[in-house]
């Protein structure tokens, strides 16, 4: 990195999938990384792989639906690396199901992880960034479901739409502290989670790929590249924006 002082990033949900790809990209960009995930053993393995590649990395366990755990996560990053410059809210779950059958517990769990989590983590990171005095960057991983409704995904889509508005609200509120807040919304992405949904018969892969104008699923690296740009100085005047990495999905209005 160009800076003399190494910057530090937290990536939640970084033990696998999109979060892990983002963590790897930011490590390649020169950041020290805190791999934050509810699965501590998997987070430690991911951090060890980054260290073996020559990066600074540590692991921390966090349940993003728990505000106190999110505060502890931010403190862990500062204790380990001395500062906090970037937060990427990537932790998420997927549990499609008929809206008539969604239980209150499943609804609350989805909202707790997908919407409350980004707020609690951003609040914890934001407090640290304000205290440091030089600002920072937050990137929320949303989804095309923030803009496009899919059947059997009521809780997921509502949570992601909420994160988009959270992104805009924090961006304008925290601009005075030089904290930029943006979102990246992938289309269907080639991850372990997607593979499980295909195996369960909840995704028709060929239909999905036909619906995307560029003719393929998003790759984890596509999403990581977008995050890498948004946290960089090249995006220094971009805040409150949702960047959709969707192969043209949302622009395509003809079936």
Place of tokens 């080639």: 190
249 is catalytic: no
Beta bridge partners of residue 211, listed in sequence order: none
Give residues with Cβ within 8 angstroms of 239, minimum separation 6: 171, 175, 180, 181, 182
Taken in order 149, 151, 153, 155, is the CA torsion positive or negative?
positive
Catalytically annotated residue among 156, 203, 244, 254: 156
| Nearest-angstrom CA–CA distance, 70 and 62 | 6
Positions marked catalytic: 156
């Amino acid at each position: 990195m160009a800076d003399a002082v190494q910057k530090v990033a937290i990536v939640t949900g970084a033990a696998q999938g999109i979060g892990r790809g983002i963590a790897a990209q930011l490590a390649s960009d020169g950041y020290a990384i805190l791999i934050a995930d509810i699965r501590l053993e998997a987070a430690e393995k991911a951090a060890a792989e980054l260290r073996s590649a020559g990066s600074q990395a540590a692991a921390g366990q966090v349940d993003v639906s728990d505000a106190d755990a999110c505060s502890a996560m931010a403190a862990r990053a500062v204790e380990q690396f001395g500062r906090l410059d970037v937060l990427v809210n990537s932790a998420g779950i997927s549990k499609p199901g008929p809206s008539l059958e969604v239980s209150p517990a499943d609804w609350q769990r989805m909202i707790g992880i997908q919407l409350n989590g980004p707020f609690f983590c951003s609040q914890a990171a934001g407090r640290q960034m304000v205290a440091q005095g030089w600002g920072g960057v937050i990137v929320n991983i949303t989804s095309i479901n923030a803009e496009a409704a899919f059947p059997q995904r009521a809780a997921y889509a509502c949570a992601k739409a909420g994160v988009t508005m959270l992104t805009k609200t924090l961006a304008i509120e925290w601009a005075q502290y030089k904290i930029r807040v943006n979102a990246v919304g992938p289309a269907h992405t080639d991850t372990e989670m997607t593979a499980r949904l295909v195996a369960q018969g909840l995704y028709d892969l060929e239909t999905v790929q036909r619906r995307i104008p560029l003719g393929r699923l998003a790759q984890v690296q596509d999403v990581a590249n977008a995050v890498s740009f948004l946290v960089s100085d090249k995006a220094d005047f971009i805040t409150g924006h949702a960047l959709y990495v969707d192969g043209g999905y949302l622009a395509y209005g003809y079936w």
